[in-house]
Amino acid sequence: MDGTSAYDIASANERYADRRRQQRIGVMMMATLRATRGFFDCMVLDLSSGGAKLAISEPVVLTPGGAVALIIAPFGTFRGQLVWQRTTFVGIRFLDPPETIVKALGDVLPTRAPASS
């Protein structure tokens, strides 16, 4: 384990949920993260047309705000920016328009906005 408890992850998810513009869905997809420090195997944990939460396979310090690319076979490569990192968990924001992301990911993402509460 990396020292991050389930409580810490749930708490962080609640804090960031209010800032999200797009509906996120939980997924488990193998991918590759390309950053300035190299290529890293990762698991996509949640996904939206605006970004993704990833678990990277090895501890590495990435540059906040740095350019990254998320490679998800067979869907393609998605340009992004590192928004946050906690040990082996990272959050990225996609730089391409949401419509482009939705089109590329096909049926993986919901096409409707979440209901207002």
For 74-93, how does the pLDDT look when each residue is reduced to its tens digit (9 = 90+)?
Answer: 899 999 999 999 999 999 99
- pTM for this entry: 0.75
Residue 18: band (very low, low, confident or very high) from pLDDT cuts 50, 70, 90: very low
Q: Which CATH code of 3.60.15.10, 3.90.1750.10, 1.20.58.1290, 2.40.10.220 fits the domain covering 6-108?
A: 2.40.10.220
Length of the chain equals 117
- Residue 62 phi/psi, 5-degree rounding, is -100, 160
Give 110 or 72, the one with higher predicted confidence. 72
| Spatial CB neighbours of 82, under 8 Å, sequence gap ≥ 6 | 35, 62, 63, 64, 65, 66, 68, 90, 91, 92
Going from N- to C-terminal start, the domains of the chain cover 6-108
Alpha helices in the chain (DSSP H): 6-17, 98-105
- Give 22-64 pLDDT, tens digit per residue: 678 889 999 999 999 899 999 999 999 999 999 999 888 999 9
